A and B are shown apart, each in its own frame.
Chain A
Amino acid sequence: MASLREKWAGRSVRWGRIAGRELSTVAITMFGLLLVTFLIARVIPIDPVLAVVGDNARPDVYEKARLDLGLDKPLWQQFAIYIGKVFSGDLGTSVLTAQLVTEDIKRVFPATLELATLGTLIGVSLGIPLGVLAAVNQGRWPDQIARVIGLFGYSIPVFWLGLMGLLLFYAKLGWVGGPGRIGVAWQDFVTPVTGVLLIDAAMQGEWEAFWDGFSHLILPSAVLGLFSLAYVSRMTRSFMITELQQQYVIAARVKGMSEARVIWHHALRNAVVPLVTVIALSYAHLLEGSVLTETIFAWPGLGRYITNALLNADMNAVLGGTLVIGAVFIGVNLLSDIFARLADPRAR
């Protein structure tokens, strides 16, 4: 009885230590992210004020911006103020939209989320079976197909693939909707609630708008999905090859289990833990890949917001977007770490 209590106490101490370590990693990474964006905003440009207000600002506007930025204070104080502002949700005002960057990002982020989520779904639902087949048929044609898809995924520029997709499937074949998120005819049918267009349309029963939105969404997310597919299938293959060499696989076969059960039930299940990390990483990378894809497809998401801001030297918006994507990266990494610990008894 006493020993059991000691065991539990020991476990909670260890959990505390693990949680502490994870938290300190997240805190340090977050600090680094803030430091880098701060340096990019304040130290690299020759005149940070011009970067915010633009070249043709009147002197009084310039002076006000200078004081707003706190450029009369020492650098470390500026950094402290910057951190304080970020944590209170103040990322400054966008020159381009004349609105708070936080509000802008809240408005555009769901569109990107929609794109990256469907892209990941496509990549995972095709990538895992492909990777498993490649591992089982190592060196034979399914393996070669997986290899070719992987190589193309790592070699094709995403923006070019998007253009080619538009040319073929929209202009020549007419199978999908063109650039934009939804046809002009349907634009006013759906009132944004969650911001995710397909969910909003479905909730309001606007099924025609739903299908129109889907026809616009499918091509950009398929383009993104190819890159996720390349990565996920390659990693699945290597995890599965490792698992299939383990002794428990031989034991299962000796017991007379069907090959399908050995592969899909026993081996794949053990590959799931590292796979979740891979999927999380690829999800985060799709958020980033959307910067180029959204430009091609005129998709009103975070990526296009950042590129538009870039082309107009709107530094607050650029850095706000960078910060949000960086924070999502950190968050996704943390979640996949936690999952790996919970799912794998050895890591507990």
Chain B
Amino acid sequence: MSSWTDYLITDSPASRRQARLGQFYRQWLAFRRNPLAVIGLVIVVALLLIAAFAPLIATHNPLTQNLDGRLLPPSAAHWFGTDSLGRDIYSRIVYGARVTLVIVLLVVVTVGPLGLLIGAASGYLGGWVDRVLMRITDVFLAFPRLVLALAFVAALGPGLENAVIAIAFTAWPPYARVARAETLIIRNQDYISAVRLQGASQWRVVLRHVVPMCLPSLIVRTTLDMAGIILTAAGLGFLGLGAQPPIPEWGAMISTGREQIFDQWWVATFPGIAICIVALGFNLLGDGLRDVMDAR
């Protein structure tokens, strides 16, 4: 045990891997001291576990309708009650974690690399490339995000994939901004000149040396952005433009509970709490990561 910590916190790492692991370990020690950040991490890990083991955690099939048991209040048999088609709300929320996670991951996988590449290219190459790319970014930043996503889905037609495309289409500019700001600092460093003097091509410099240095601030940015993505996706689902029924999506579930809100409050209340907890988790985690990884 102690030999492991010695290995990790040594001041003179013998290999690149040891140095990297040591840095992770130090960041983890700093992260652990922040209780709110740890709560955020626990929530996010719980979301991952619930999504992975949904069939084991759910008590009912999320799609099975039972018209005799419509709109039952929370009870021992149905922990969060049932909705207007007699489906178990608890089980639907559990499976809904999968939908939420898929949306978030798809958006991040599209937006992260795109924003990173645009920002890094813009900052590193400078000149007219920078001017054109940043102008486009500014134009997109000046747009109302949700409304633009709405118009986009309206043209593409409702559905999970189209909601993801619409959110990604409106979410990339801040990433490009962050990556560009980082790149502007990095590009004048000595080691970049060294690589360039060795004859590396511009693409090699950007992809192998600039992009990795931008990653920490981009990871922080992404985590903080996750909550916004979840809320936008839930908003689209609520308007009936995201995941289509019978997929258990939290925003759409709130929308089905809307008509019964005054009599059967549980239908809309519990999915909303789920959204709040998950968004809060990502916000707390992002705040904690920012303090650790991105001191500026």
Contacts and interface: CB of A to CB of B under 8 A. Distances in A.
Instruction: Place the interface of chain B in its size category.
Output: 35 or more
Given A155-B276, A155-B280, A163 B151 contact: no
Contacts of A167: 261-262, 265
Interface stretch (B53-61, B81-89, B141-149, B178-186): B141-149
Given A151-B283, A163-B268, A310-B154, A28 B139 contact: yes
B206 interface: no
Q: Which of B139, B153, B275 gathers the greatest number of chain A CB atoms within 10 Å?
A: B139
Interface stretch (A181-189, A198-206, A321-329): A321-329
A157 B150 contact: no
B240 A166 contact: no
Interface residues of A, number: 50
A164 B155 contact: no
A52 B225 CA distance: 35
Contacts of B276: 152, 155-157, 160
Nearest to B275: A157
Nearest to B241: A310
A291 B146 contact: yes
B154 A318 contact: yes
Nearest to A45: B155
A171 B227 contact: no
A40 B152 contact: yes
Interface string A272-304: 000000000000110111011001100000000
A8 interface: no
A288 B145 contact: yes
B235 interface: yes
A288 B147 contact: yes
Contacts of B284: 151
Contact of A157 (B145, B265, B269, B272): B272
A33 interface: yes
Interface in A11-51: 25, 28-29, 32-33, 36-37, 40-41, 44-45, 51
B155 A163 contact: no
Given A288-B147, A291-B146, A159 B254 contact: yes
Contacts of B145: 288
B283 A155 contact: yes
B254 A329 contact: no
Nearest to B142: A29
B207 interface: no
Contact of B235 (A37, A51, A157): A157
A240 interface: no
Contacts of A333: 142
Closest 5 interchain pairs by CB?
Answer: A32-B139, A160-B272, A155-B279, A155-B280, A44-B155
Interface of A: 25, 28-29, 32-33, 36-37, 40-41, 44-45, 51, 151-152, 154-160, 163-164, 166-167, 171, 284-285, 287-289, 291-292, 295-296, 306-307, 310-311, 313, 315, 318-319, 321-322, 325-326, 329-330, 333
Given A157-B238, A329-B143, 6 more contacts: A28-B135, A40-B152, A156-B276, A292-B235, A318-B150, A325-B144
Interface of B: 135-136, 138-140, 142-148, 150-156, 227-228, 231, 234-235, 238-241, 251, 254, 257-258, 261-262, 265, 268-269, 271-272, 275-276, 279-280, 283-284
